[in-house]
Structure 1
Amino acid sequence: MKVPALVLFSIFATTAVESRADIYQVVSANGAIMLTNIHRTDRKLVRVARERPVQAKAPGVVKPVRKGPLKAPRYSLIVAQAAFEYDLPAELLHAVITTESNYDPTAVSPKGAAGLMQLMPGTARDLGVHDVFDPTANVRGGARYLKRMMKLFGNDLSLALAAYNAGPGAVLAYDRAIPPYPETQRYVPSVLKHYKRLQADAKRPR
């Protein structure tokens, strides 16, 4: 015996809205087949669909919301303008932003670096950036500072990035080499990896 499609739709739609419960089949006294999500011990029920189990979460644990490269297009124009103004590849600035803040304009590091390109308070003042959380001002300031590091270290990108992360004094103190700081040792390869990937993406035919 077939169950009318309208009845099935109504039952499943109600189930989807009100709860995610098991579905049971029951045969009435007159032989009609019905579906229900209410389990009753006074009827002979046959389970035809089982609710998917929901994993319990530890109390107080909130799954973090990932803020990632999906936000990149939002800042593409700002990055392109800063790249043009300071004669830097836009892909390089995107790589720095990805590594520094992952496109979170409100990011603040434990050391106090803030914004998309994680400018330290003293560096921001030196660059004339009054609001580090303003994406345009932050990216322009970060691009200007990175260009300054490129000039200081003879366009050696690895050293410029190391200086951007650890400060130019640290690079000079280690005889113009990447300082042996764990954070800087991770930072430089991370930016270079993103930069290489973005360059490859830019060359890919659309």
Structure 2
Amino acid sequence: MGRTSCRIGGLAVGIILFLAWTGAAMADIYRYVDKNGVVHFTNIKKSERHKPYIRSGKRVAAKRPQDYDAIIHRAARRFNLQPELIKAVIKAESNFNSRAVSNKGAQGLMQLMPPTAVDLDVMNPFDPEQNILGGVRYLSELHKRFNNDTVLALAAYNAGPERVMACQGVPPFKETHDFIARVKKFYLQYCRVGD
């Protein structure tokens, strides 16, 4: 396949996803990951390996952070993390915008990178429930990996666990230090207001 056809293929996927996201296309979008780790998108479910990615129909984004409380509390119980911490991460990552996309490509409320979302079986990172459950599961795994040290877990959530391991602590990145400080500030605010 030539470089031009790759560009056209990428453009086609981008258009399909944009149309589905905006509601202009009225078809479900499915994805699957092949044996080489390549993610494929289609509007036709050909087999069980095709998992829903975007459902057609109008979706209404939550207007207030409280609209996510039920999901956050369910995730907190399931993965043994404080709801205030989860809310603080969401506030710091996306300001409760379920459609947020960072300049690095992180998506949704908890700003999951696409490969991380795939690893966590998050089929649609813009679906609040999938994103929160996947993000909290990931944060919980990091928390355990770093011996329940919340600061290191947050550093790993932001900069990646490999960087935290290589630095044997919080990496010396302004973005990571700023992220941890924002999460701490929001966490204290949510604790004061009683979740």
Q: Same fold (TM over 0.5)?
A: yes
Question: Is the aligned partner of 1:184 residue 2:168?
Answer: no
Q: What corresponds to 2:134 in structure 1? A: 141
Correspondence list, 1:122-141, <5 A: 122-141=115-134
Deviation at 1:201, TM superposition (A): 1.4
Q: What corresponds to 1:199 in structure 2? A: 191
CA distance in 1, matches of 2:130, 2:64: 18
Name the amino acid aligned to 1:183: E
Deviation at 1:86, TM superposition (A): 0.5
Q: What corresponds to 1:93 in structure 2? A: 86
Deviation at 1:199, TM superposition (A): 1.0
CA distance in 2, matches of 1:194, 1:179: 21
Larger deviation: 194-203 or 162-171?
Answer: 194-203
> 2:68 is matched with which residue: 50, 69, 75?
75
Q: What corresponds to 2:167 in structure 1? A: 174
CA distance in 2, matches of 1:116, 1:79: 11
State the structure with more CA Rg.
1
1:41-91 deviations in Å (ceiling 9; x for gaps)? xxxxxxxxxxxxxxxxxxxxxxxxxxxx97111111111111111111111
Deviation at 1:181, TM superposition (A): 0.9
Secondary structure class of the residue paired with 1:183: helix
Structure 2 unmatched ranges of 5 or more: 1-61
Name the amino acid aligned to 1:126: D
Deviation at 1:150, TM superposition (A): 0.3
Q: How many residues align?
A: 134
CA distance in 2, matches of 1:149, 1:81: 19
Deviation at 1:120, TM superposition (A): 0.4
Structure number with higher relative contact order (C-alpha < 8 Å, ≥ 6 residues apart): 2
Deviation at 1:117, TM superposition (A): 0.3
Name the amino acid aligned to 2:188: K
Deviation at 1:99, TM superposition (A): 0.2
CA distance in 2, matches of 1:189, 1:170: 18
Name the amino acid aligned to 2:114: P
1:84-113 deviations in Å (ceiling 9; x for gaps)? 111111110000000000000000001000
CA distance in 2, matches of 1:120, 1:70: 24
Question: Is the aligned partner of 1:158 residue 2:126?
Answer: no
CA distance in 1, matches of 2:147, 2:193: 27
Taking only aligned residues, the RMSD between alpha carbons, in angstroms, comes to 1.4
Correspondence list, 1:44-55, <5 A: none
Name the amino acid aligned to 1:134: D
Question: Is the aligned partner of 1:104 residue 2:104?
Answer: no
CA distance in 1, matches of 2:108, 2:101: 7
Instruction: Give the number of the structure whose residues are more often helix, by fraction.
Output: 2
Q: What corresponds to 2:108 in structure 1? A: 115
Larger deviation: 194-203 or 124-133?
Answer: 194-203
